[in-house]
Structure 1
Amino acid sequence: MTQPFTGLVAYPITSLAHDGEPDLISFAHLVRNTAFAGLPGVTVLATSGAGVTFDRAERQSVVQTAVESALMVGTSEGSRESILSVYTAVSAPSTREVVRLAEDAERAGAAGLVLAPFSYLPLSDREVRVLFMAVAEATALPICFYNKPAQTQFDVSPATLAFLAANARVMAVKDTMRRDNVAGRVRELREAVGQAFSIGLSSDVQLLAELPEVDAWHTGLAGLLPGEYANVWRLARAGGLQGASLARLQTIAQSLAGMPHAIGALHALSNVIGVPTAGPRGPFAAATQEETWQLGSAIHG
C-alpha cells in the first residue's frame, strides 16, 4: 500500500452554483481531472475548498462526490479501487464537531484526514495533543497535521509531531514554506518523526521556485491545473528540466499570490479554465473583473 499523503496532493476549490449551494457536477469534474492526471491524492474542504463555510451535511455530500468521482476513474481503467486517494479536511471550532466530521469522512470512504488545530483563541500544546488523540480514537484513518502558524497561531514543534505520530495515528505533516530556513525545519522534523513519516510542504510560489525534495507537495493550484503540475512534479523528481510548464505555473502562482482575495481568485481561475463556479461564500470575497482578466492573461499568455 502506498504511504498516505505522499507525492503531489491537489487541493481543489468546492465549486458553487449561483444560489450558493455546492455545484457537485463541476466539483466532480475537478476531482476526475486530478485522477486522470495521475496524481496520487486530493484533499477536499481544506483552505482552497473553503471547508469551514459548509455545514455538516454539505461536507458529507462533497466528500461522497469526491470519493465516487475518484472511484469512477479507477473503474474506467479496469480497477476495482480508486487510483486517487481522497483526503478530507475536518477542521472545526470544537473537538466534538471535528470528531463528527472525521467519522462522516470515514463512512464516506475517505482515505485520510487533514486537520489544522482551528480555534478562536490560540491553543496550547496540550490542547492540540488532546484534539488529535480524540480524532484518532474515533476513526481508524491516517491523519495529516495541517500546520498553519500564520492563521492558527500554533506552530507544531518536532516534539509534539513525534508524540502525535506515536500516539494519534498522525502519519504526515503539511507545513508551510513561508518561513525562514525551510531546509532546517525539514531536517528537524525528519529527525523527530523518522523516515516512514510523510513531510510535505505548501505555498505554490515557493514550491515552484525551489522544487523542494520532500515527500509531498500540497497545492491548491494543482487542484485546477493537475496535468501541468504533475508534469513539473515528475520532472523535478527525475532531475529533468521543467521548461514551459514550470514557467507557466510560476506566472499563474505569482498572479494568484498578488491578489487580496485568495479563495475568490481560485474560483475566478476555475471559470477561466472552463470549470464553472460562482464566487465563494462570504465572508470570502469574489475576484474583481480586473483580477479575473489578470488571471486570464496569465493562463493564455
Structure 2
Amino acid sequence: MSFRGLLAYPITPLTPDGAPDLGALATLVRSAGAAGVDAVTVLATSGAGVTFAPEERDAVVRAAVEAAATSPTGPMPVNVAVSSVSTEAVVRAARAARGAGAAGLVLAPFSYLPLDDAEVVALFAAVADAVDLPVCFYNKPLQTGYDVSPDVLARLAEATRVTAVKDPASLPARPDGRAEELRAALHGLSVDVGLSGDVALLDGAPAADAWHSGLAALAPEEYVTVRRERSTGARTRGGEQARRWLLDVARELAAARPVSGLHALATSLGTPTAPPRGPSLPATPDVAASMRALVARRPVGAPAT
C-alpha cells in the first residue's frame, strides 16, 4: 500500500560539491521507517528531483530502496516522483524508477504552458502503457496552472494506473479542501485520497487516506504521533506538544523558500547537506537562525534525525 498512511518526502541531501549524499539520504529513509512512516517518496518537490541528471536520479532511487528494505520495522515502499516537461522524459523517468525498485510513481503534470484535460489524460495514459506501477496524481494547481477536476480524476482512475491523488488540504479558493468531493466523484473506485500542505495538515485537516509531507521526513517521530492521534481521535499532552512544534516549523517553512528552508532545517537537525542546487538560493541567515531556534525548542524526548 504505497499511497496510504503517512508518506514522507525527504530532501535529497547534497555533499559540499553539490552531488547527492546517498549516505545521508539513506539515514533519512531508515529514520522514517523506524519512526513508523508508511512510505517515502523521493525526488519530488522536497527532493528537488528536476535538478538531477538521469544517472543521479537512478542512484538516489537505488539508495532509498536499499535503505527502505532494511528499515528496522520491516521493508517500506519507496515511491518516485517522475514529473518533467515532456511526455518522453516522464516515461523515461518512470521506466528508470521501476528498474531501480520503485513501488509507485508520483506525477504532477506540467509543461511550459498549463496543460488541458486532454493533454493530462494522454500523459497518464502514456505512463500506463510504459510502466506497470501504481501512480499517484500530484495535484498542485498553484504551481502548475492545472487543477484536476473530480471527473477527470475518475476518468484517470478508470483508464490508467492512477490509484491515488495527492490534493492540497487547503487552497485560497477552497480553504477546507475537497476530500469528500473527490471520493464522491470516484463512485467506489479504489483510489486513495491523500492531502498535502503541512500547515493545513497540522492545523485541523482530516486524516484522509494519506498525508503527504516533506516535513515528516525530517521530524518523523513527531509527525507519526500527530497522524496517529488524528486518525484515532486520541489526544495526549505529548501529541499536542509535537503538533504545536511541527506547526511552528511548518509556518516558518511556508514563509521561506520551501526547499531552501527544508535544507536549513535538515542542517539544524543534524543531517549534513549543502544548500539546494540553483536556481534555488540558500536559505537566508534569518531563516537559518529561525530553524536553529525552532530545533532548540523541539519537545523533550524527540531526538534529532
Q: TM-score range by the shorter chain?
A: over 0.9
- Does residue 245 in structure 1 map to residue 242 in structure 2? yes
**What are the residue-to-residue correspondences of 1:253-292 with 2, within 5 Å?**
253-259=250-256, 261-292=257-288
Cα drift, residue 175 of structure 1 = 0.5
CA contact (8 A) 1:4 1:171 kept: no
**Which stretch of structure 1 is more off in the superposition, 237-246 or 198-207?**
237-246
Cα drift, residue 195 of structure 1 = 5.9
Aligned to 1:157: 149
Counterpart among 95, 104, 111 of residue 119 in structure 1: 111
Give structure 2 stretches of 5+ with no counterpart: 298-305
Matches of 2:47 and 2:21 in 1, distance apart? 12
- Does residue 186 in structure 1 map to residue 179 in structure 2? yes
Cα drift, residue 184 of structure 1 = 6.3
Amino acid at match of 1:280: P
Cα drift, residue 299 of structure 1 = 1.8
CA contact (8 A) 1:28 1:65 kept: yes
Counterpart among 38, 51, 55 of residue 53 in structure 1: 51
Q: Secondary structure at the match of 1:30?
A: helix
CA contact (8 A) 2:194 2:211 kept: yes
Matches of 1:181 and 1:154 in 2, distance apart? 15
Cα drift, residue 182 of structure 1 = 5.2
- Does residue 13 in structure 1 map to residue 11 in structure 2? yes
Aligned to 2:98: 106
Cα drift, residue 185 of structure 1 = 2.0
Matches of 1:113 and 1:167 in 2, distance apart? 16
CA contact (8 A) 2:14 2:274 kept: yes
Number of residue-to-residue matches in the alignment: 292
Amino acid at match of 1:170: V
Q: Secondary structure at the match of 1:282?
A: coil
Amino acid at match of 1:190: R
Matches of 2:286 and 2:12 in 1, distance apart? 23
Cα drift, residue 57 of structure 1 = 0.8
Matches of 1:183 and 1:167 in 2, distance apart? 29
Counterpart among 193, 197, 203 of residue 197 in structure 2: 203
Aligned to 1:35: 33
In the superposition, the TM-score normalised over structure 1's length comes to 0.94
CA contact (8 A) 1:255 1:298 kept: no
Aligned to 1:230: 224
Aligned to 2:63: 65
**Which stretch of structure 1 is more off in the superposition, 190-199 or 35-44?**
190-199
Cα drift, residue 181 of structure 1 = 3.5
Give structure 1 stretches of 5+ with no counterpart: none
CA offset digits 1:18-52 (Å, max 9, x no partner):
11111111111111111111111100000000001
Cα drift, residue 279 of structure 1 = 0.2
Amino acid at match of 1:161: L
**Which stretch of structure 1 is more off in the superposition, 119-128 or 174-183?**
174-183
CA contact (8 A) 1:205 1:254 kept: yes
CA offset digits 1:96-142 (Å, max 9, x no partner):
11101101111111100000002111111100000000001111100
Counterpart among 125, 145, 165 of residue 133 in structure 1: 125
Amino acid at match of 1:14: T
Q: Secondary structure at the match of 2:203?
A: helix
CA contact (8 A) 1:103 1:138 kept: yes
Structure 1's consecutive aligned runs of 4 or more residues displaced over 6 angstroms after TM superposition are none
Amino acid at match of 2:180: R
Amino acid at match of 1:101: A
